[in-house]
Chain A
Amino acid sequence: MNLYSHHWKSFIRNERWRRNLLTKILFGILILYFIVLFLVLGLNIGRILRQLEGDPVDRFNSFLLWYLPVDLFLRCLFQPLPTVEILPYLRLPIHRGQIVKYLLHRSLMNLFNLIPWFVIIPFAIQILLPQSGPGIVVIYLTVMTLLLLFNNFLAVLIGFMIQKRPILYVIPFGLQALIISLNNWGFPVSVLSVSFGKYILDANPALLGTLLSAILLIIYATSRLLSRNFYIDEIQSKKERKNFITLIGENQFKQFGEIGRYLSLEISLLVRNKRPRQMMVMVPIIIIYFMFIISNSKHPFGPFFNLIVVTSLIGYGANNYGQFIFSWESSYFDCIIARKNSFANYVKAKYYLLSALSILSFIPLFIFFGYMQTIDPYLICSVLIFILGVNSFIILFFSTFNDGRMDLSRSRFFNYQGIKGNQFMLSLIFIFLPIGIFSLFKYYFNPVIGEIVIAISGLIFIILSKWWIKSIIVPQFQRRKYKNLDGYRNLSL
């Protein structure tokens, strides 16, 4: 069908994608890495399982109920939703069912459906075949296929539901937290998993039937949900809960003059548009999720792990908002540039917002870790200061390279703008730069020196913020201005 070729065309003709070779390479490397990882695991699966205690088939099955929820969780977060720009097709004689079918087919093409087989097939050949014979192998592989399909379509359904109501992000996180709690409250998942595996090997037709009907049910629900979104006014989503979002309006920061005006514009942007709202909802969910995991785990995590968690969580909101700075306003940036304003103040408003996001994340974390006492509270404070100073500078500096257009008024429901590999690399820098510096000084001197060093470097950047915004960020943006504006006007996603 045409839809398939159109999708392919929209993919290869994407302006940003073409320009951004680095992104392509990084994605390629990442994909290759996972494939190799699972391939190596798969080729050695026989030897590994035989080295463990007990029956190798049971050993393998004991991981099933661990893997499947994690798989579902990761799919909900990372599995790209099948999308098509449907507006141009609505007036054509293409049946809605066809579009839905296309979307569901499309969803099957992802790594989560490919990678497990690198392990499952070697296991089936090396262990299961000699032990149980070809009949059982066929049944086992069939059930595995159905389980993966179940996860696939469930993730699509949840994904689409999240697009409508970002708060539903709690579903994947809640499921994950539930599994972990079950394990801690005396229902060892590995043991359950072994009996589940035995049940599969019993070749019970009831299991096949249940799985199949569950999949069909999910597909039906997804089609219903999608068909209902085929109306133009739905796509543009006019029905918004306005009371909350108009509350935060123009009067919020009036007393702060020009910067305050830009700040309230920026906040309106975040709360009044679907796309950034989805992103912001994730921030408290992630923070609560990690608090739950840490407080519920039987074995306390090491200090290094705690440090990584603290650093990434304090910076999480700021990084998410920051990596799309200037792209957020791409749809009206001509208006900002063509009019009289102080660009330094415009950037400063963004700097304040970045700081506010970090501080708001910091407060609950500080209280939580103060209560848990797994990490030095002074260290948390130094990390915050570092993030407020150095990370903000890095975020704002690299944001001047953002030249991708982003459409705020549409949700991610039928659109996949803003995927960029180098932004992922940037997040890693944000996390490991403070940790690296701290660890270095801790290793050669002592932790206190490490804390002081990162706190002071952060402080220097905070004190000099006025200077670096005016003398580095703004001129850097001016240099890239025409290129960025050109990118923002480029409608071809």
Chain B
Amino acid sequence: MDTVTFHYKSAGIMIAINNLGKAYNQRIVLFIHELVISKGEIFGLVGNNGAGKTTLLRLLLDLIKADKGSAISGDFEIATSEKWKDYTASYLDEGFLIDFLTPEEYFHFIGEEYGFTRTQIDGRLSEYKGFFNDEILGQRKKFIREFSKGNKQKIGIVSALITNPKVIILDEPFNSLDPTSQILLKRILVDYNKKTNATIIISSHDLNHITDVSHRIVLIEKGLIIRDLQNDGGALAELESYFSA
């Protein structure tokens, strides 16, 4: 492990994946020989259902155990250290919401985990007023479980953004959002990246959205990386032709 860490350490690398493999019942669902994500990169992950997108994101969060290989975040191996959690925030699915809390209680809980005060959190929340569209904050008696799917999605995404992370991992963030919110979310992600130089990893089925925000797009299919594209104009066309074939 040490050699790998050393190799990537000084090169502006945020996340390095080496021979990472996961199998369920002898069926390989993910195998990534080598993948390096730079600091400050918005990294898009596309693929059909069952391609292994969520599996990869879960491995990056140490929620499932890799059968082989390793992933490194900064200076830390993800599976053995927990230090990377200090600067990593994520929202994969509704399983990340504590649904019997009110949105504010939830944001405060998450924020305090990272050492922010409630006033700081409230300040950060005010930046997302437009995104929330007055539907989420200030409802003292409405628990998260009573919100619609789209609003739950917003709560989850913002809960990842408010802790000033250096790495953000989002699974299908555009799902169940209305068109206005989708556009706002794209702007939020790009602005956050510009302002903080954070690494953002997102997966999506929607090729348009992903090409709108990402610097780089990786296409996986049946657990393998098929394409690794810099998003400089031709990516959308290439992806569309791949998926329509």
Residues of chain A at the chain B interface (Cβ within 8 Å): 236, 238, 242, 246, 249-250, 258, 261, 265, 268-269, 272-273, 329, 331-335, 337-341, 408-409, 482, 485-486, 488-489
Cα of A237 to Cα of B90 in the assembled complex, Å: 30
**A334-B63, A339-B113, A341-B113 known; A409 vs B145 contact (CB < 8 Å):** yes
Contacts of A482 in B (CB 8 A): 63-65
Complex interface: chain B residues within 8 A of A489 (CB): 95
Contact A338 B61 (CB under 8 A): yes
> Which residue from chain B places its CB closest to the CB of A242 in the assembled complex?
B141
Task: Judge whether B242 is part of the interface by a CB distance below 8 angstroms.
Answer: no
Q: Are A265 and B141 in contact (CB under 8 A)?
A: no
Determine if B63 and A485 form an interchain contact, defined as CB atoms under 8 angstroms apart. Answer: yes
A272–B143 contact, CB under 8 A? Answer: yes
Considering the chains assembled together, what is the distance between the CA atoms of A182 and B89 in angstroms?
A: 63
Residues of A within 8 A of B64 (CB): 482, 485-486
Question: Given known contacts A337-B62, A486-B64, is B105 in contact with A250 (CB within 8 Å)?
Answer: yes
Q: Please, could you name 13 A-B residue pairs with CB atoms under 8 Å apart, sorted by A?
A: A246-B140, A246-B141, A249-B105, A268-B100, A334-B63, A335-B95, A337-B62, A338-B92, A339-B85, A339-B110, A341-B85, A341-B113, A409-B145
B240 within 8 A of A: no
Q: A249-B105, A338-B63 are in contact. Are A331 and B99 (CB under 8 A)?
A: yes
B8: interface (CB < 8 Å): no
* Alpha-carbon gap, A335 to B94, bound state (A): 9
Minimum CB–CB distance for B142 against chain A, Å: 9
Q: Is B97 in the interface zone, CB < 8 Å from A? A: yes
Could you tell me the distance in whole angstroms from the C-beta of A408 to the nearest C-beta in chain B? Answer: 7
**Chain A residue, CB-CB nearest to B159:** A335
Task: Judge whether B101 and A268 touch: CB under 8 Å.
Answer: yes
Q: Are B86 and A333 in contact (CB under 8 A)?
A: no
Residues of B close to A335: CB separation below 8 A: 95-98
Q: Does B132 contact A (CB under 8 A)?
A: no
Question: Does B166 reach chain A (CB closer than 8 Å)?
Answer: no
Contact B95 A331 (CB under 8 A): yes
Number of interface residues of B (CB under 8 A): 33
Chain A residues contacting B100 (CB-CB under 8 Å) are: 268-269, 272-273, 408-409
Report the Cα distance A335→B96, complex, angstroms.
4
Interface residue ranges of B218-241 to A (CB < 8 Å): none
Q: A207–B63 Cα gap in the complex (Å)? A: 63
Which B residues touch A333, using CB under 8 A? 95
Expressed in whole angstroms, the Cα–Cα distance for A488 and B95 within the complex equals 9
CB distance from B68 to the nearest CB of A (A): 14
Q: Which residues of B contact A488 (CB under 8 A)?
A: 95
Q: How far is the CB of B52 from chain A (nearest CB, A)?
A: 16
Instruction: Please measure, in the bound complex, the distance between the C-alpha atom of A339 and the C-alpha atom of B93, giving whole angstroms.
Output: 14
Query: How many Å lie between the Cα of A261 and that of B140 in the bound state?
Result: 18
Give the contacts of B106-122 with A (CB-CB under 8 A): 108-110, 112-114
Residue of B61, B89, B98 with most chain A CB atoms under a 10 A cut-off:
B98
Mark out the residues of chain B between 75 and 94 whose CB falls within 8 Å of any chain A CB in the assembled complex. 82, 85-86, 88-90, 92-93
**Chain A hits for B88, CB < 8 A:** 338
Contact in complex: A409, B62 (CB < 8 Å): no
The 9 closest A-B pairs by CB, nearest first: A482-B65, A335-B96, A272-B100, A340-B85, A338-B61, A334-B95, A250-B105, A332-B98, A242-B141
Contact: B96 with A250, CB < 8 Å? no
A261 near B86 with CB under 8 A, answer no
Would A340 and B86 be within 8 Å (CB), given that A249-B105, A332-B98 are in contact?
A: yes
Q: How far is the CA of A329 from the CA of B113 in the complex (A)?
A: 17
- Chain B nearest Cβ from A484, distance in angstroms: 11
A340 touches B105 (CB 8 A): no
B109 and A338 contacting across the interface, CB-CB below 8 Å:
no
B146 contacts chain A at the CB level, 8 A cutoff: yes
Would you give the shortest CB distance from B161 to chain A, in whole angstroms?
A: 13
Query: B203 → chain A, closest Cβ, in Å?
Result: 15
Residues in B with CB closer than 8 Å to A261 are 109, 112
With the chains together, A242 CA to B105 CA distance in Å? 15
Chain B nearest Cβ from A240, distance in angstroms: 9
CB distance from A469 to the nearest CB of B (A): 17
Q: Which residues of A contact B105 (CB under 8 A)?
A: 249-250, 268
Q: Is the pair A338, B65 in contact by a Cβ cutoff of 8 Å?
A: no
B162 to chain A, nearest CB (A): 12
Q: Which residues in A have their C-beta under 8 angstroms from that of B62?
A: 337-338
- Smallest Cβ-Cβ distance to B108: which chain A residue: A250
Complex contacts, B82 vs chain A, CB 8 Å: 340
Q: Which A residues are CB-close (under 8 A) to B92?
A: 334, 338
Complex alpha-carbon distance, A250 and B63, angstroms: 27
Identify which of B96, B113, B145 contacts A334 (C-beta below 8 A).
B96
Residues in chain A near residue B146, CB distance under 8 A: 238
Q: A246-B140, A485-B63, A486-B64 are in contact. Are A332 and B96 (CB under 8 A)?
A: yes
Interface string of B118-147 (1 = CB under 8 A from A): 000000000000000000000011010110
Q: How far is the CB of A270 from chain B (nearest CB, A)?
A: 10
How far in angstroms is the closest Cβ of chain A from B117? Answer: 11
Complex Cα distance A340/B64, Å? 17
Bound complex: CA A269 to CA B101 (Å)? 8
Q: If A261-B109, A261-B112 touch, does A338 touch B143 (CB 8 Å cutoff)?
A: no
Tell me if A340 and B114 are in contact (CB < 8 A): yes
Instruction: Give A331 to B63 CA distance when docked, in angstroms.
Output: 14
Which chain B residues lie closer than 8 Å to A269 at the CB level? 100
Question: What separation, in Å, do the CA atoms of A488 and B141 have in the docked complex?
Answer: 28
Q: Which residue of B lies closest to A274 (CB)?
A: B100
Closest Cβ of chain B: how far from A258's Cβ, in Å? 8
Q: State in angstroms the CA–CA spacing of A10 and B195 once bound together.
A: 51
CA distance A51 to B34 in the complex (A): 85
Choose one: B101, B109, B113, B143; the contact of A340 (CB below 8 Å): B113
**Distance between A186 CB and nearest chain B CB, rounded to angstroms:** 50
Give A485's nearest chain B residue, CB to CB: B63
| Residues in chain A near residue B101, CB distance under 8 A | 250, 265, 268
Kindly state the separation between the CA atoms of A279 and B105 in the bound complex, as whole angstroms. Answer: 24
Given contacts A332-B96, A482-B64, A489-B95, 4 further A-B contacts (CB under 8 A): A261-B109, A334-B93, A338-B96, A339-B89
Q: Give the distance in Å from the alpha carbon of A486 to the alpha carbon of B63 in the complex.
A: 8
A331 contact set on B, CB distance < 8 A: 95, 99
- Rounded to whole angstroms, the CA-CA distance of A409 and B147 in the bound complex is 13
- Among A273, A338, A341, A488, chain B packs the most CB atoms within 10 A around the CB of A338
Chain B positions 172-226 with a Cβ under 8 Å from a chain A Cβ = none
Minimum CB–CB distance from B102 to chain A (whole Å) comes to 8
Candidate in A269, A329, A482 with the most chain B CB atoms within 10 angstroms? A482
Shortest CB distance B155–A (Å): 12
Assembly CA distance A53 to B130 (angstroms): 85
